[in-house]
Amino acid sequence: MKHIVVLTGAGISAESGVKTFRDSGGLWEGHDVMEVASPQGYAANPELVLNFYNERRRQLFEVEPNSAHIDLANLETNYKVTIVTQNVDDLHERGGSTNVLHLHGELLKVRSTFDENDIQEWETDLVLGDLCKKGHQLRPHIVWFGEDVPMITKAIEVCETADILVIIGTSMQVYPAAGLMNYVKNDTPVYLIDPNPALSNNQNVTVIAKPATEGVKEFLELLKS
């Protein structure tokens, strides 16, 4: 089976109603990014940070996967599919995808501030006083600015084995995720699905300048032909 690697960003979740990162009216509005998405911000005001992610977590239960999530999951019938996402929601999994790698963490998980490998599933609010088994405060399982991206090595390995690369709903401007397309083989077909594509000068890239739901359907038609 051919291996399709799909890199997804905020654009695919936006059509489900998940507010996008630092967009106008987006979920960072009213907060300096470093206040709510950095170790320094957490150290300065942990309650603010925990509440910020509690709101994001609650919002997840109000949204549903859209047709792009579901169409990508259905690709598994005929292809090996690996989703590498910058999103912290669970919409790919709820849409039916079985092989999802989260670069920037997951809203529905928390981890110990003492041991970053002590990770737990978590669906309710996280508050000060919620502790790991060793008695240390739990924090959102989110990769904050200035922190290592532990899954990047795995993501690179995945991209190196891609027969087809699809990039959906991401500007590919944020590193290290932005560097992932450099790890696919030179002759690998690349499809970019985004209403405002930024990579169209690459000759290997087929641009589909549409939102994710429309663009994935067009990609599926191209795949058939």
For 157, the token pair is 């390995």
* Euclidean distance between CA atoms 120 and 137, whole angstroms: 12
* Euclidean distance between CA atoms 163 and 185, whole angstroms: 8
If one counts every other C-beta atom within 10 angstroms of the C-beta of residue 177, the result is 21
Beta strand pairing call for 205-208 and 100-102? unpaired
Helix ranges restricted to H, the chain: 10-14, 33-36, 39-44, 46-60, 67-74, 91-95, 152-160, 212-224
**First vs last C-alpha separation in the chain:** 17
The residue behind tokens 């999994």 is 93
Beta strand pairing call for 138-142 and 105-112? antiparallel
Give the residue numbers marked as catalytic: 104
Classify burial at 111, counting beta carbons within 10 Å of its beta carbon; exposed 0-12, middle 13-18, buried 19 or more: buried
**What are phi and psi for residue 37, nearest 5 degrees?**
-140, 40
